[in-house]
Structure 1
Amino acid sequence: MVARLSDRNPVVSPEQLIQEMVPPSTFDEVSFDSYIPDPNEPSQAQAVAKARDFVVRARKARGGKKGLFSRKQATQGIGLYLDGGFGVGKTHLLASIYHSMPEPKSFATFVEVTHVVGALGFVNAVERLSQHTVLCIDEFELDDPGDTMLVSRLLTELTAKGVSIVATSNTLPGQLGEGRFAAQDFLREIRKLSAVFETIRVDGPDYRHRDLPPAPAPRSDTELEELAESTPGATLDDFDELCTHLAKLHPSKYKALVDGISLVCIEGVHPAQDQSVALRLVVLADRLYDADIPVTVSGSKLDEVFTDEMLHGGYRKKYLRATSRLLALSRFAESAV
C-alpha cells in the first residue's frame, strides 16, 4: 500500500528546529564562484561583489574590538538585503554567504524564523541566536503586524549583540507588507527594519522558466496511482484530505512531514478554497522545493492552485513564488519518470 503524507504526524523538538537552521541540501555545494551572473544583467555581478564584501565586514563585526581588560566585544552587526524577482539566484548568494561565515551560524526562511521564536520563546531564541556570526533569512515577507514587530525586535537585539543579518525577498524593505496593513504601528516597525539593511537589487529572468515548457498536463488518477505504486518512497494523497491534514500540523513540522519522501503524488488537485488553505500550501511547496522532491498531480494544473483573486491580493508574491517552485518540481517529476 502506498504511503500517505496525510498519515504522517512528525514530532519536532525546539532544539531540532535550531539544528535544522541550515540551507536546503540543494545549496550544500554552492559558492560565490559557482554563481554565474547573466552578462545581460550587470546587477547580478554587482550583487556577488556586495555579498563578498558583506562577508568580510560581517567577520570583522563578529570579531569585534578589544575592550576593557582586553576582552573582545562584538561591534554592531551589519545587514544586507538582496531584492529581486523570482529565480535570479538570490538564495544561491544567501547560501554562499552562509558557507563563507564561521560557525555557529543559521539559515532559515522568514516563516521558519518566526516558528523557531514561537517554539523557544523570544528570550531563549535571542540567547541562542546571539552566539551566531550571521542569521541568513530567505524569503523575507511579512504576513501580519505581529510578525513584523516580533522580527523587528529580534533583529534589533541580535544586531546589537554583533550578529549580522542578510535577507532575500521580492519586496524592498520599505515596501514590506504593502497592500496588506496600514496600521501606524506596523508602518513604524517597517521603517525600523529598513534601517537595518543595505539594499542590493538583483535583476534577471526566472532561471526556473528559462527556455522551459509550460506546466505539465495533469495525469489521470489511474496513471498517478500506478506511478506511486511503482516508485519506492513515493506518497499518494487526495488533495482535500492533504489540505485538511496540513491544517492540523504546525507549519514548523512540514519539513519533517516530507523527510525521506522520493515523490509526492496528489490526486484531485483544484484551486484552493480560501487563503488559509493556500498559505499552508505555500509552506508545503517551500519545504518540498528545499528538499528537491518532485511533485506530480491529477486534476488541475499546478499553476491553477491559486485563484486570480489570490494572485492579485496582498499575498501575491508568496503565491507566485510557490507556483514557480511547484512548476519546477513538476517538471522534475516529468524528467525523472
Structure 2
Amino acid sequence: MQSVQPPASLDTTLFTRQTGSRVQAGKVVSPDTVEIGDPFRLIVTVVVPSDARVEWPTITDTTAVVVMREPVKVIDQGGMTGGRRERAEYTLSAWDIGALPIGLGDAVVRYGNVTMRVPLADARVQVKSVLPGDTTLHVPKPARDLFPRVDPWWERWWPALLVLAALGLLWWLWRRRRRHGAERVAAPPTDPYARAVHEFERLDRLALAEAGESGRYVALALDVLRLYVSARIPEATLSLTSAELLGAVADDPRVPRDRLVSLLADADGIKFAARRVSTPRAREIGAEARAIVDHIERTDRERRAAEEAARAAAAAAVERERKDAEEQARRASRRPRAGAR
C-alpha cells in the first residue's frame, strides 16, 4: 500500500510494523483560550487506509472538569490516493481555570489484524477566570444570617422572673411559718383567774429577776394582780392609785387588806422610789402577789358556792311549799261538802 501525505495541521505519524503502512493524525483546539462554561471545539483529523476503521473516544464522566456538550460528530472527508481522511469534532466546556487536559482517551484505528492507537491525552485548553482583576485583593464581608434572630421576651427577662419567683416563695414560706407560729401560741384564757395564772407563769419563764431586772419583775407581777382585781371588783379600776385601790376594796371581805397594804407599799417603793430589790426579795413579792390572787379567787369561789347553795335551798323551800300547797288543795278537794248525802 502506498503512503498518503497528511495535511499540514496533523502532527502525529504512526507506522505498522507488519505492512509498513502509516497513519497520520493531528488535532487542534479552537479557540485555544476560553472562559469557564464557554463552548470550544476539539478537532481531530486522521488519514488512514481506505478499509481501516476508526473508534473515537468520548467523555462519559459528567463531573469532570472538561465535559462534552453534545455527542462527537464524525465526518468522512473522502478518499485520497492510497487512503482516506476522517475528522472528529468534539464540542466541549471547561469548569475550572488554568491549562486543563481535555481528558480524552486514545482513538483506535483497526486495519485487518493490526490495531493502532492515536494518543489524544496531550490535548489541552487554556481557561481564564471571569472575575475582575482586582478581586484578588478583595476581602469579602462575613456571611449574614438569612433572617435576623428574634429572641422571645421571656428569654431576656427569665433571670428577673426567677428572682421574683424566689422572693415570692420566700414570702409565702415566711407567712406560712408566721401563721403556724401564731396558731401554736395559746391564746390567753378569758377567765380572770385563769388569765392571771397564765400571766404569772409566763412572767416566771421570762426570768427577769435572775437577769438583773428585779424591779421590772415586781412591777409586772403587780400589774397582773391589779388586772385580776379589776376583773373581780369593778370598782377597783386600773387608773386608781394604790391608796385609792385600798379604799375601793376596803369593804370587800374577799380581799386580805393587810397583806395587800404591805405588798403595795413594797411595790410602790420599788416602782416610784427606785428602791433596789434583790432577786430573792423580788421573787417573794411575786409569790405574794400570786398568793393574794389565789386567796381572792378561793374566797370568791366559796362565796359563790355559798350563794349558789343558798339559792338552791331557797328554790328547794319554794318547791316544797308549792308541793305542800298542791297536796293540801288536793286533799281539800276530796273532802265531802257539808249537807251532802
The bucket for the TM-score relative to the shorter chain is under 0.3
TM-score by structure 2 length?
Answer: 0.17
* Structure with the higher helix share, 1 or 2: 1
* Structure with the higher strand share, 1 or 2: 2
Higher relative contact order (CA 8 A, sep 6+): 1
> Greater Rg, structure 1 or structure 2?
2
